[in-house]
Amino acid sequence: MEYTFSSGAKKFIIALIVAGIAFLGLGLLLDGHHTYIDKDLSLGQRIWTDLLGNGFFFFGISLGALFFLALQYAAEAAYTIVYKRVLEAVTKWLPIGLGIIVIVILAGMAHQHHIYHWMDPKVYQEFLPDGKTVNPDYDHIIAHKSNYFNFGDGDGYVHLIRVVAFGLIFVYFMSKFRKNSLLEDEEGGTRIHFKNITSAAIFLVLFGYGSSILAWDLLMSTDVHWFSTLYGWYVFAGFWLSSIITTIVLIVYLQSTGKMAWVKKGHLHDLSKWMFALSFLWTYLWFAQFMLIWYADIPEEVAPYVARIQDYKVLFFGMMLINFVLPMVGLMDADAKKKKGLITVIGCIIFITHWIDVQLLIIPSSMKGEGQIGLVEFGFFFIFLGAFLLVTLKALAGRPLLVKNHPYLEESKNLYH
């Protein structure tokens, strides 16, 4: 019943982190001799950019799992109950991910990096201190958005407060769902089940606002002159998909160690259908955003796409094509969705390309044309992945793999044979 954190898994995680540190060290050595043409760019900027990109990516995976969990509560669905504990374990990273994001924002407010251009107080002053000379750094577009970010200067806290508030709301619901799940095992009955439905409904409303606003605040504001209305959904579709893939891979791993025999092929088939469908949702939103901007061709709207297509063409279109074509061709057949090996391989590939997707939301804005996805970036990816798996597997090992006393447990178990 219980999962014990095996030494093989520990070795794998240590290997990931060591590989990450090796990549990072090598990357830093090579980057040390690199001189950037743009004087705003530096090695520090690159490191903070990667911290934000990886911080958000893994924060999003936890948030996606939390959303999926709440969705099942609110919909009173039975088919996820047999692997509910895996979903709960994936949400465990949430506070750590939030912490890393907050550190990056605080560092920006202390002017350690320039990922967020609007944190610069100079852009808000129309005139230099003498009151007559026009400030060359003044940016009227950012100045008009100052109420949203920081009330008219570079040091306001509005943005930080908003991110922390939504983050803490999500963390609160995460710990509540996790606590209730254990409580239900002991208590039985339906009291907690109905309580969970109510809190899941409240969470979903808050999540609807919070996920979009976090996407604007953390990612879209790196291109502060630009905005897109469906950006929040686009980011959300991506991290929801990543969290489904994480769940699938964890279940396949647990089954390979002989655990979780109660998760049948049909249950995995359900998750693969989500993976298939969400790939299409993500591509649909990618294209909806791209096509309208491409067609209208308004200079201030196309700027971020110009930056991405000029300097990151292969990565930008490559990751889109892989994320669209690979699941479409590989997972279209119903039998293919039930093959553990196939869904794991496809899942891992699109997991990495979705990581590239998130990096490409930030790197071209903060590193301009001089960024890259190289050794430093992959180093951070491996370190974060290792740490994420460590936290998730520890959370899995802490409690039984199957819930007891959930009202839908029997239905869920007998759904497939």
The binding site for other proteins (CB under 8 A) comprises 287, 290-291, 294-297, 332, 334
Minimum separation from the CB atom of position 215 to other proteins (A): 24
Question: Smaller CB distance to other proteins: residue 325 or 332?
Answer: 332
Please tell me the distance from the alpha carbon of residue 143 to that of residue 157, in angstroms, as a whole number. Answer: 16
DSSP string, 137-197: T--HHHHHTHHHHTTTSTT--HHHHHHHHHHHHHHHHHHHHHHHHHHHHHH-SSHHHHHHH
Minimum separation from the CB atom of position 297 to other proteins (A): 7
**DSSP count for the chain of H helices, then E strands:** 15, 0
Is residue 104 within 8 Å of residue 48, measured between CB atoms? yes
Residues in the chain: 417
Please tell me the distance from the alpha carbon of residue 336 to that of residue 345, in angstroms, as a whole number. Answer: 12
Minimum separation from the CB atom of position 273 to other proteins (A): 14
Minimum separation from the CB atom of position 321 to other proteins (A): 13
Could you tell me the two tokens for 34? 């690199």
Question: Smaller CB distance to other proteins: residue 186 or 297?
Answer: 297
- 44 Cβ contact partners less than 8 Å away, ≥ 6 residues apart: 112, 113
Question: Smaller CB distance to other proteins: residue 130 or 297?
Answer: 297
Question: Smaller CB distance to other proteins: residue 12 or 284?
Answer: 284
Minimum separation from the CB atom of position 231 to other proteins (A): 19
SS3 (DSSP) at 74? helix
Question: Smaller CB distance to other proteins: residue 79 or 290?
Answer: 290
DSSP string, 371-409: ---SHHHHHHHHHHHHHHHHHHHHHHHTSBSS-SS-TTH
Question: Smaller CB distance to other proteins: residue 156 or 327?
Answer: 327
Distances in whole angstroms, Cα of residue 231 to Cα of each of 99, 187, 367? 23, 42, 20
Minimum separation from the CB atom of position 333 to other proteins (A): 8
Q: Provide the 8-state DSSP code for 118.
A: G
The separation between the first and the last C-alpha atoms of the chain, rounded to the nearest angstrom, is 20
Question: Smaller CB distance to other proteins: residue 151 or 317?
Answer: 317
Minimum separation from the CB atom of position 291 to other proteins (A): 5
Question: Smaller CB distance to other proteins: residue 11 or 265?
Answer: 265
Minimum separation from the CB atom of position 309 to other proteins (A): 12
Q: Which amino acid does the sequence have at 357?
A: D
Is residue 66 within 8 Å of residue 236, measured between CB atoms? no
Minimum separation from the CB atom of position 288 to other proteins (A): 9
Question: Smaller CB distance to other proteins: residue 295 or 341?
Answer: 295
